[in-house]
Chain A
Amino acid sequence: MTLAAMQTSAPEATRADRLFDEHQDQLFRRAGRIFAPLMVIQWVFGILIAVTFSPYGWAGKVKSIHVHVYAAVLLGAVISSAPLLLSLTRPTWVVTRHVVAIAQMLWSALLIHLTGGRIETHFHVFVSLAFLAFLYRDWRVLVPATLVVVSDHFVRGLLWPESVYGVVNPEWWRFLEHAFWVAFEDAVLVIACVASVREMRDVARHGAEVEGLAAAVGHELRNPLAAVRNATTYISKRLTRVNGGAPPADPRILQFVELADRELETCNKIITNLLDFSRHRPLSVGAWPLRELVDEASSILPPTSVMVVNDVPADLPAPLVDKDQFRQVLVNVIQNAVEATGQNPTSPGRIVISANGGGDGPWRIRVADDGPGVSREIADKIFEPLFTTKTKGTGLGLAIVARIVEAHQGSIRLDSTSGRGTSFVIELPRARAEDQEARPTRRDAKAELPSVSQAPGRT
């Protein structure tokens, strides 16, 4: 199998598309995290404006709450609820972005109305458009937003001009003037969106090339490595068995065979890292208890003088994770911590793995070491592929960690003070209700027979 053949079997184009989609999903999730609270803030803000600008009306001798306050409370809730819900639960859906875009513009309309058509409140329109464009980087969301804002100006300008322009008798074409400035901003934003999507594509293509190369090299090296490993095993077995356990005349022969075996294992680890980095394994999740996973991970680590303490509570709710992949996350992070503390000559080093959360909140897993800590510049790059401060290693371990954690829709960050140790903090999202629900009734729990032939084949 040649390198060229390898590359055609894992087309770079699909890799690039996948990387691009992942990046875009990240952006959408981030946008969801920003728009969800914004929807609540705007609602509170709308009520405050209604209360301060038009607190009470007088009907005869009876003081009553102005209709604006009701409008702010009720209309605001109506406008905010759908985008809030979608941003929280379905941040990556197309419909979510459009609903958010429409809601932002409806908020502009409501706020303009509540402030009696103040021209300054119109800035909300422009800020919102910019926000939508920069957070989603999808120019399409500007279409419904623009339609909503223009038609709102047109209709209300005809029926109730004070509420939108603050004057009783504006010119009939006033909405066109507003529409022009909105269109002007739209034009700028569309250009920005298209350019940034093009940049994202370039980044994805580059990433795909690196991945493709890693995969090709990794695979090509495995075959010769397998043969060499077989050969050294045979030699060492022959040497020890044939001589009845007595070492051969030159003691270095056995020593060198063992050395070859060890170094082969190092090669294999490097290749495995390359391949883990270049491939994306689908997740197969189950509710695996963290304490046991940490135990398993630390039992896989090579022997070390550093003390590894598993401080995860035994009764912590179990997060939904892919057992093998998440164990690898723990192995890599703990291994990294072991190597970091090893650099501190004054004390033997201690690593504490703790966790909290689950239930209503996210899980937070902390791997803390008492090593020398890392500087700001290193912390910024530590999850980037091929970045390493060590003389040994591929610089892929933590990049793999970041990728797997992201696949679990979690996040990982670094807490470090130079000289005072480092903590990696992994956050996993709280369990979604549908995952916790029982699948179809137990009596129906049977294997679905004819699914083999339709199983999606990855090539």
Chain B
Amino acid sequence: MHVLIVDDEDSLLLTLAANLELEEIEVTTAGDGARAVELAAKQHFDVVLSDMRMPGMNGLQLVGELRKINPVVPVIIMTAFALEGLVEQAISEGVFTVLRKPFAVDHVIAAVKRASARPTVLVVHDDPDAADSIASVLRAARVPAMATCDAHDAIRIAREAEIDVCIADLDLRAGAAELITELHALDPSIACVAMSAHRGADLRRVASQVVACIAEPVRTLELLQVVAKARAAFAHAPAHPGAAR
């Protein structure tokens, strides 16, 4: 696996690269966006890790430039800033996830390994049109996604494809809690998100198994934010916090 790290802080580049190399990941570093684009044009990278605020080209602009070279390369954004417009825009552009500095090294390694597998988001909704439209919104942002209206089909897909996030309708006929339990039995690392047509929907049955709940009709930015958050949440805590007790 070959990873490109882009950051204007030398000390971060140096230490992060050393840690990834310790995991036998091949690393190339770039001190700014222009250098990163130059490198990406010459060779293939499985994952790009980039800082957001850099002199010259910022992380968001870099994502745009990298997409011109390779539209599907997963980009992980690292930022010291908790909340800002740039991060929000990067999420709209479908970056894989956003990691907050100072991160735990294992957290980055988990995220990089996950991103390199180019996992898919699975959308499960009783209404096939709704499921399709949500998946197509994700795909429009270059987030690989699949849709299904059948819980059995969902399990089959999870078995065959590399699924890392599942967005399940809370009012699923087959039962959202049952589906999530089955998915977790198959792969405990799948991060699940509940989706509901009303804000007041009771999340009791799924509360300890989902990382978030989104309301329908789904807003694009909220959807992408939830997916990015689900991916970061997994890397952060492989065990589901509620299930631990």
Closest to A443 in B: B127
| Chain A residues with CB under 8 A of B19 | 230, 233-234, 237
Once the chains are docked, how many angstroms separate the CA of A300 from the CA of B88? 27
Whether B72 is near chain A, meaning CB under 8 Å from some CB there, is no
Q: Contact: B80 with A226, CB < 8 Å?
A: yes
Contact-size category for A: 35 or more
Residue of A nearest to B88 (CB): A457
Residues of chain A lying within 8 A (CB to CB) of residue B201: 286-287
Given A229-B102, A289-B204, A459-B85, answer yes or no on A448-B9 (Cβ-Cβ < 8 Å): no
Q: Which stretch in B26-34, B183-191, B216-224 binds the other chain?
A: B216-224
Contact B105 A320 (CB under 8 A): no
**Stretch from A23-31, A115-123, A368-376, A429-437 at the B interface:** A429-437
- Chain B nearest CB: distance from A432 CB in Å? 9
**CB-CB < 8 A to A458: which residues of B?**
83-85, 88
| Residues of chain A within 8 A of B137, CB atoms compared | 447, 449
Are B12 and A435 in contact, CB atoms less than 8 angstroms apart? no
Complex formed: what's the CA distance from A295 to B207 in Å? 11
Chain A residues whose CB sits within 8 angstroms of the CB of B65 once the complex forms? none
**Which residue in B221, B223, B241 is a CB contact (below 8 Å) of A299?**
B241
Q: Is the CB of A444 within 8 A of B217?
A: yes
Cβ 8 A contact of B197, one of A228, A230, A438, A452: A438
Residues of A409-459 whose CB lies within 8 A of B: 431, 435-440, 442-452, 455, 457-459
- The residues in A between 294 and 317 inclusive whose CB is less than 8 angstroms from any CB of B are 295-296, 298-300, 317
A222 at interface (Cβ–Cβ under 8 A)? yes
CA distance A224 to B10 in the complex (A): 10
**Beyond A230-B15, A279-B83, A445-B130, is A292–B202 a contact (Cβ under 8 Å)?**
no
Contacting B at CB under 8 A, from A221-252, are 222-231, 233-234, 237-238, 241
Q: Is A284 an interface residue (CB 8 A)?
A: yes
Q: List B154-173 residues whose CB lies under 8 Å from chain A.
A: 171
Q: How many residues of chain B get a CB closer than 8 Å to chain A's CBs?
A: 67
B199 interfacial contact with A, CB 8 Å: yes
Check A222/B241 contact, CB under 8 A, given A445-B197, A446-B130, A451-B221: no
B150 to chain A, nearest CB (A): 16
Q: How far is the CA of A222 from the CA of B126 in the complex (A)?
A: 44
Q: Is the CB of B203 within 8 A of A296?
A: no
Are A292 and B242 in contact (CB-based, < 8 A)?
Answer: yes
CB-based contact B217/A439 at 8 Å:
yes
Asked if B152 is at the interface (CB within 8 A of a chain A CB), the reply is: no
**A365 CB → nearest B CB, Å:** 16
B208 interface residue, CB < 8 Å from A?
yes
CB distance from B181 to the nearest CB of A (A): 15
Instruction: Verify B217–A287 contact, CB threshold 8 A.
Output: no
Residue of A227, A284, A289, A438 near B11 (CB, 8 A) is A227
Q: Which of B80-99 contact A (CB under 8 A)?
A: 80-86, 88-89, 92
Instruction: For the complex formed, measure the closest distance between the CB of B31 and the CB atoms of chain A, giving whole angstroms.
Output: 14
Complex interface bits, B127-139 against A, C-beta within 8 A gives 1, otherwise 0? 1011001101100
Partner of B222, one of A222, A241, A284, A318: A284
Indicate which residue in A227, A318, A436 contacts B203 across the interface (CB closer than 8 Å): A318
Question: A63 interface residue, CB < 8 Å from B?
Answer: no
Q: How far is the CA of A443 from the CA of B130 in the complex (A)?
A: 8
Neighbour of A442 across the interface among B127, B140, B202, CB < 8 A: B127
Residues of B with C-beta under 8 A to A299: 241-242, 244-245
Docked pose: A225 CA to B15 CA in angstroms:
12
Give the residue among B101, B125, B208 with the most A Cβ atoms within 10 A. B101
> Does A178 belong to the interface (CB within 8 Å)?
no
Judge whether B133 and A438 touch: CB under 8 Å: no
Is A387 engaged at the interface, CB distance under 8 Å to the other chain? no
A sample of 19 more A-B contacts (CB under 8 A), given A223-B101, A323-B212, A439-B217, is: A222-B80, A223-B9, A223-B80, A226-B12, A226-B101, A226-B102, A230-B18, A233-B104, A234-B22, A320-B200, A323-B213, A442-B130, A445-B130, A447-B134, A448-B219, A452-B141, A452-B221, A455-B92, A459-B84
Chosen A-B contacts, 26 in total, with CB atoms closer than 8 Å, are: A219-B81, A222-B101, A223-B80, A225-B101, A225-B102, A229-B105, A233-B106, A286-B203, A288-B203, A292-B208, A320-B199, A435-B199, A436-B199, A437-B198, A439-B197, A439-B199, A439-B217, A447-B130, A447-B134, A447-B136, A448-B219, A449-B133, A449-B220, A451-B221, A455-B88, A459-B85
Closest A-B pairs by Cβ, 4 of them = A230-B15, A226-B102, A222-B80, A457-B85
